[in-house]
Chains A and B, each alone.
Chain A
Amino acid sequence: MAIVSICRGSKSGGQALAECLADYLDYPLLGREILQTTATAFGVSEEEVTHHFHRSPTVWDRHAAIRRVYVVAVQATLAEHLSTGNLVYHGLAGQVLLRGLPSVMRIRLIAPVEMRVRVLMESDGMTRSAADQHIRTVDAARARWVKMMYGEHIEDPTLYDMVINVATMSIPTACDFIAVGLQQPEFAVTDDVLSQFGDFRVACRVKLALVSESETRGLPLEVKAHAGVVTVSGSAPMLATGETGDRIAAIARGVRGVKEVRLKVQWFDPYP
């Protein structure tokens, strides 16, 4: 059992590698359909969710709050798929959405632009210049998205366990040696790892519940879970009625899998 996350630029062979690995290891495969699942859950179109994952935020981002909701929702959907301990994920932002989890092999696949242009020309019948322009635009938007949302450079190799260049390597060859790595102890999904995935799942559900409610959506809150005990930290306005704290606790308590809620929130006066 293991979890694999594949991040790649458009037309870099990521889907082929993910399918090869899922087939070879007999693991479930999850890709862009995660956006459809999230869209359905929110009663919006897939394009609406995709838009917030693809369009890079600007400094003055009018849609920051709703973008955050969708990102948290996609992360929560992804967390639900970890329950069996087997998954090949090749959707968006896996390297940041699954950050900090054990036994996840985070791979980045890169390919020369010329190779990707050729693939796009053949698959979509584009001219060379249109294909080149498209790839560079998509790459730049994704890089900006990761930078704005997480403050990281998408090409930073330390975000991944491995960066694989398919300029000279075939997809079956890449698939072959990754499978060897996945069988090693650091990627084994033990009972302890499964329990950490369970904690992550509960924390993601609580985060989603908090961003789904208008009173708590804009608050910079962090959520951690351990064996059903959820700790919410961050900062929130201190209202005379004390309602904010009560609402955070009530929302969190209403989430499946939560047994106890602990607040470590720093309260501030919104009207000093």
Chain B
Amino acid sequence: MAIITISRGTKSGGRAVAECLAKGLGYPCVAREVLQEAAEALGASEAKVREKLTTPPGPWDVITRERHAYVVAVQSALASRCVGGNLIYHGLAGQFLLRDLQGVLRVRLVAPMPLRVQAIVGLHAHTTHEAAERFIRKLDRERRRWVRRMYGVDLTDTSLYELTINLESIALETACLMIGTLARRPPYETTDAMLARIDEFATTSRRHLQAIAGGGR
């Protein structure tokens, strides 16, 4: 049992590694579901929640702290998914949303630009390589800015993760196998003490959300 977060740029193989891990370890694998639950809790649309977790905050957000409510809602939804101790999360900002929870295995995947461009072009035949690369660079830039503004750190800083894997030379299956091996070792293997910490974290996150929702947004 373990909680694994997978951070990656768009089209860097994150979903494939997450699904491979879920199959190998028999854990649930979530990403978008967490945003949907957060949206439901806030009475907002999923698109709105996604926007708040991807586009860099502006000065207005800093004054109103409106964005904070969305982040807390997603954190609360993710925390409740962690209860029980088995989870692979490959959605947005997992390494930050669970940063107060000890024992989480935080993985970052990096992939070379040509591979990422090919993944988009392969899916959308009408997209040129140049357009795909522009799209990827724009998303990467926005995500880095979001993290910088929200948490004051660089998304690509390897010290934020237990493990960073470069999929240029490591096959997806190998990455999956290595992460799976690591997940079964201490301190990532879920113990009774960790289960208790997860319960406490989920309760705190839920109360935090209730306090914010109760206080109006």
Of chain B, the residue at the smallest CB distance from A166 is: B162
Q: How far is the CA of A81 from the CA of B101 in the complex (A)?
A: 44
Contact A161 B185 (CB under 8 A): no
Tally of A-B Cβ pairs under 8 angstroms: 74
Q: Which residues of B contact A157 (CB under 8 A)?
A: 108, 110, 156, 158, 164, 166
Closest approach, in angstroms, between the C-beta of B21 and any C-beta of chain A? 13
Contact B181 A180 (CB under 8 A): yes
Q: Which residues of B contact A165 (CB under 8 A)?
A: 158-159, 161-163
Contact B166 A162 (CB under 8 A): yes
Q: Which residues of A contact B182 (CB under 8 A)?
A: 169, 173, 177
The 8 closest A-B pairs by CB, nearest first: A163-B164, A184-B174, A177-B181, A163-B158, A173-B185, A177-B182, A181-B178, A180-B181
Q: Residue A213 at the B interface, CB < 8 A?
A: no
Number of interface residues of A (CB under 8 A): 25
Of chain A, the residue at the smallest CB distance from B185 is: A173
Q: Which residues of B contact A173 (CB under 8 A)?
A: 182, 185-186
Q: Which residues of B contact A145 (CB under 8 A)?
A: none
Q: Which residues of A contact B159 (CB under 8 A)?
A: 110, 112, 165, 167
Q: Residue A158 at the B interface, CB < 8 A?
A: yes
Where the two chains meet, the residues of B that have a C-beta atom closer than 8 Å to any C-beta of A are 102-103, 108, 110, 112, 156, 158-159, 161-166, 168-171, 173-174, 177-179, 181-182, 185-187
Of chain B, the residue at the smallest CB distance from A173 is: B185
Contact of A158 among B110, B174, B178, B186 (CB under 8 A): B110
Q: If A177-B185, A181-B174, A181-B177 touch, does A158 touch B168 (CB 8 Å cutoff)?
A: yes
Residue interface mask A191-234, B partner, CB < 8 A = 1 = 00000000000000000000000000000000000000000000
Q: Residue A23 at the B interface, CB < 8 A?
A: no
Closest approach, in angstroms, between the C-beta of A46 and any C-beta of chain B? 31
Contact A161 B163 (CB under 8 A): no
Closest approach, in angstroms, between the C-beta of A165 and any C-beta of chain B? 5
Contact of B178 among A163, A167, A168, A177 (CB under 8 A): A177
Q: If A165-B159, A181-B174 touch, does A176 touch B181 (CB 8 Å cutoff)?
A: yes
Closest approach, in angstroms, between the C-beta of A263 and any C-beta of chain B? 32
Of chain B, the residue at the smallest CB distance from A106 is: B169
Q: If A168-B187, A181-B177, A184-B173 touch, does A161 touch B158 (CB 8 Å cutoff)?
A: no
Where the two chains meet, the residues of A that have a C-beta atom closer than 8 Å to any C-beta of B are 108, 110, 112, 155, 157-158, 160-165, 167-170, 173, 176-178, 180-181, 184-186
Closest approach, in angstroms, between the C-beta of B117 and any C-beta of chain A? 15
Contact A186 B171 (CB under 8 A): yes
Q: If A168-B187, A176-B181, A180-B177 touch, does A163 touch B171 (CB 8 Å cutoff)?
A: no
Contact of B163 among A155, A164, A184, A185 (CB under 8 A): A164
Q: How far is the CA of A30 from the CA of B110 in the complex (A)?
A: 29
Q: How far is the CA of A30 from the CA of B174 in the complex (A)?
A: 26
Contact A161 B177 (CB under 8 A): no
Q: Which residues of B contact A161 (CB under 8 A)?
A: 165-166, 169-170
Closest approach, in angstroms, between the C-beta of A11 and any C-beta of chain B? 15
Q: How far is the CA of A110 from the CA of B168 in the complex (A)?
A: 20
Q: How far is the CA of A177 from the CA of B182 in the complex (A)?
A: 6
Contact A168 B177 (CB under 8 A): no
Closest approach, in angstroms, between the C-beta of A110 and any C-beta of chain B? 6
Q: Which residues of B contact A177 (CB under 8 A)?
A: 178-179, 181-182, 185
Q: How far is the CA of A157 from the CA of B8 in the complex (A)?
A: 13
Q: How far is the CA of A170 from the CA of B188 in the complex (A)?
A: 11
Q: How far is the CA of A108 from the CA of B164 in the complex (A)?
A: 10
Of chain A, the residue at the smallest CB distance from B157 is: A155
A–B Cβ pairs within 8 angstroms, 7 of them: A112-B159, A158-B112, A158-B166, A162-B170, A169-B162, A181-B177, A185-B171
Q: Which residues of B contact A176 (CB under 8 A)?
A: 181, 185
Q: How far is the CA of A158 from the CA of B165 in the complex (A)?
A: 9
Q: If A173-B182, A180-B177 touch, does A155 touch B158 (CB 8 Å cutoff)?
A: yes
Contact of A110 among B156, B158, B174, B185 (CB under 8 A): B158
Closest approach, in angstroms, between the C-beta of B2 and any C-beta of chain A? 12
